[in-house]
Amino acid sequence: MSINALTESLRHHLSPHLERSGSILYSATSTLKVGDVYLMGFNPGGGDGPTISEQIDALADRTTNAYLDEEWTGKAGEAPLQRRVTWVLKALGYQPREVCASNLIFIRSRDYRGVEYTLADECWPVHEEIISIVQPKLILVFGNSATSPYDYLRNRFNAGGADESISSGHGSWTVRSFNTVINGQSVCVVGLPHLSRYSPVGKPEVIEWIKTRKQHAEPDPD
């Protein structure tokens, strides 16, 4: 799919929300290519920002990564969430700048309570198109409780079926996972606790578990 076709699809599916503040990609447009991982948060946070329409207009020329290049707390890439996202991706063996990243819901709010969960259904057709481009083996999301990216994906693709989990190493929080098929491809979905509150740093068992779960989801070679 070309960038022009993707932007037309964005305008179609998000037409009621074009003048609302939001964001589409958190990575550069160059990450819209085949890759192992699709990273997904819940929705853009913060105060006012560009509108969805403005973000769509700028999509073709986007070269920055929100987790590496934006100044959320002073210095670019140094907010706790930014540092944890970067750490997890590197620990899994990926270059953060090469990983396609977005949010389940594209509309901005100060916290998850400020956005309608039902908007995920309006955004999902766009994710399907991104996934068809990236063909990820792993969809890595942060937020795995009720009203979270993991909850949405599990309800959509696992229909309440069994999932796997291990201790996150922080209190009663867990890391969760299920395997599914999206667009004809086997995919492992892993849900971390929200990285604004949870730090995976220094928990190698979590990283190894994610790697193992991804490997188990991959089809056997012919």
pLDDT at 112: 63
pLDDT at 161: 81
pLDDT at 206: 98
pLDDT at 39: 98
Residues 6+ away with beta carbon under 8 Å from 62: 25, 28, 29
Q: Give dist(CA 92, CA 23) in Å, integer.
A: 26
pLDDT at 87: 98
In the chain, what are the domains? 3-217 (3.40.470.10)
pLDDT at 40: 98
* Residue 67, both tokens: 């987790």
Q: Could you tell me the mean pLDDT of each successive run of 10 residues in the chain, 222 residues long?
A: 88 94 96 97 85 94 96 94 98 98 92 81 94 96 94 88 93 96 92 96 96 79 51
The CB-side HSE value for 169 (13 A sphere, CA atoms) comes to 12
Q: Is the pTM of this model over 0.85?
A: yes
